[in-house]
Amino acid sequence: MDIKAVILAAGKGTRMKSETTPKVLHEILGKTLLGYVIDNVKNFTDEQFVIVGHHAAEVEKFVTDNYSNAKTVLQSPQLGTGHAVSMVCPNLENYNGLVLILCGDTPLIKEDTLKNFVDFHNSNNSDLTVMSTIFEDPTNYGRIIREDDNSLKCIVEEKDATPEQKAVKEVNAGIYCLNWSKIKDAFSQLKTNNAQGEYYLTDIISWGKTQQLSVNAYILENSDEIYGINSRSNLATASKIMNRNTLEKLMGEGVTVVDPESTWISADTKIGQDTIIYPFTYIEGKNVIGKSCKIGPCAHLRGGVEVCDNVKIGNFVEVKKSKILSNTNVGHLAYIGDSELGERVNIGAGTITANYDPISKTKSKTVLKDDVKIGSNSVLVAPVTVEQGANIGAGSVITKTIPQWALALTRAPLKILENWVGKKK
């Protein structure tokens, strides 16, 4: 059956206290909250609709720049979650498949969880399924109230709940799966008879019950996955949860993380067996690191990095958008950006690839072929190529192609002034 996703991303995110960045474009390890959500649905849904509102232009640009199969739909004014979903009705007028509804500020939700949720919906012949979870302290969450046959009866918000209902620990997780052809009419019949004067998405449940439809709730075992981001504090908490999950997965696959408490690695980074990640290393974005590498301590990989086997990236080394082939060593205090490094290359301490031209605002590439040796404290001014086996003397500034097996030096002659210090004294 066809599946389309609707992602709610129109909210202002007032508690984030940000004038310039909409809530869903805040980042964890170099990737936006909205990016995590889209990535977790794009592989099993035919189309994704992102509902935009606050900072709509910025969110729309992010979506169109990064996702070919996602569309943005404007919600203006923002009149509640039910109103947000109703904005896609014209796009789905003749659609007969499933619609998955989720929030753009829940980056911890996993693709497998969403697939299991859809499978539950189908296997139970549901017309509408709500994801729920169990909280020992369910304060401030809408409570899941079930029928005697275990189907979903309703969701009761805390302010409207009786003492008996408040004791229920099963709460609404805010993710829905709908048989669209059977539920779509609900969105034209929602009412605003509530304290907020908004159209609530939760009201489609009571509507479904009045239509004698099959309404169910699916219990999510790991409640961390529906952790929502409403503040900078929430962002920090979610970042730690995501990082912990990533490090546990990597260690289970044969990667040594010397100190998980001080190490940060993005979920989009793949690392081979027997690689060692030393403390205070920060790896963000999408990267591939091979087997038997040594990274850090205090290394920073900024995304777009491909590292082959048996590579060492040392202390205080920063790497961005570069490919490093096997058995290469990047010594400490180096910067490697927009570069290709061959096999058996040695980068001396303090070497940088000067890849950015601030006048033209363009970035250029540095290419170091196999067996190249770069002396300490050298600058490679891109675009530049150092051919196979060439050596660069320490302290050199390289601005043009160096032929293979050559030695390149730009060092000024050494001058020694005898007894200069003694005379000063």
Phi and psi, residue 224, nearest 5°: -60, -30
DSSP string, 282-300: EE-SSEEE-SS-EE-SS-E
- Residues recognised as catalytic: 332
Peptide bond into 279 cis (omega under 30): no
The confidence score (pLDDT) of residue 385 equals: 98
Where do runs of H (alpha helix) occur along 158-216? 163-166, 180-183, 203-210
**Cβ contacts of residue 189 below 8 Å, gap of 6+?**
207
- DSSP secondary structure, 115-128, as one string: HHHHHHHHHTT-SE
* pLDDT for 412: 86
- Whole-angstrom CA distances from 354 to 222, 363, 380, 408 are 46, 9, 6, 17
Residues 29, 221: Cα–Cα separation, whole Å: 25
pLDDT surpassing 80 at residue 390: yes
pLDDT confidence of 347, banded at 50, 70, 90?
A: very high
The dihedrals phi and psi of 180, each to the nearest 5 degrees, come to: -60, -45
Query: Does the pLDDT of residue 199 top 90, yes or no?
Result: no
Average pLDDT, the chain: 95
Residue 1 has pLDDT above 80, yes or no: no
CATH number of 232-359: 2.160.10.10
Question: What is the CATH topology of the domain spanning 3-226?
Answer: Spore Coat Polysaccharide Biosynthesis Protein SpsA; Chain A (3.90.550)
**Is residue 194 predicted with pLDDT exceeding 80?**
no
pTM: 0.92
* Least confident span in 93-97, 137-141, 167-171, 309-313: 137-141
Q: Give mean pLDDT, residues 299-303.
A: 98
Residue 122 has φ and ψ, to the nearest 5°, of -70, -45
pLDDT band at 53 (very low <50, low <70, confident <90, very high): very high
Q: Which residues of 235-253 are buried (b: 16+ CB within 10 A; e: fewer)?
A: beebbebbbebbbeebeee
Strands (E) located in 194-293: 215-220, 256-257, 264-265, 269-271, 276-277, 282-283, 287-289
- What mean pLDDT do residues 373-386 have? 97
pLDDT at 40: 96
Computed on alpha carbons and rounded to an integer, the radius of gyration of the chain in Å comes to 28
Dist CA 149 CA 132 (whole Å) = 17
Looking at the chain, the domain(s) classified CATH 2.160.10.10 span: 232-359
Q: What is the pLDDT of residue 325?
A: 98
Q: For residue 161, is pLDDT > 90?
A: no
Quote the pLDDT of residue 158.
83
Cα separation, 130 vs 201, whole angstroms: 11
Residue 36: C-alpha distances to residues 97, 282, 379 (Å)? 24, 19, 37
Task: Give me the percent of the chain exceeding a pLDDT of 90.
Answer: 89
Question: d(Cα 88, Cα 8) in Å, to the nearest integer?
Answer: 11
Residue 55 is given by DSSP the state: B
Task: Work out the angle between the directed axes of helices 111-123 and 33-41 (0-180°, nearest 10).
Answer: 50
Every domain of the chain with CATH number 3.90.550.10 lies at 3-226
Residues 6+ apart with CB under 8 A from 361: none
Sheet hosting strand 346-347, strand order edge to edge: 256-257, 276-277, 294-295, 312-313, 329-330, 346-347, 373-374, 391-392, 407-408
Instruction: Name, in order, each residue with C-beta under 8 angstroms of 195's C-beta and a sequence gap of 6 or more.
Output: 159
What does the pLDDT read at residue 331? Answer: 87
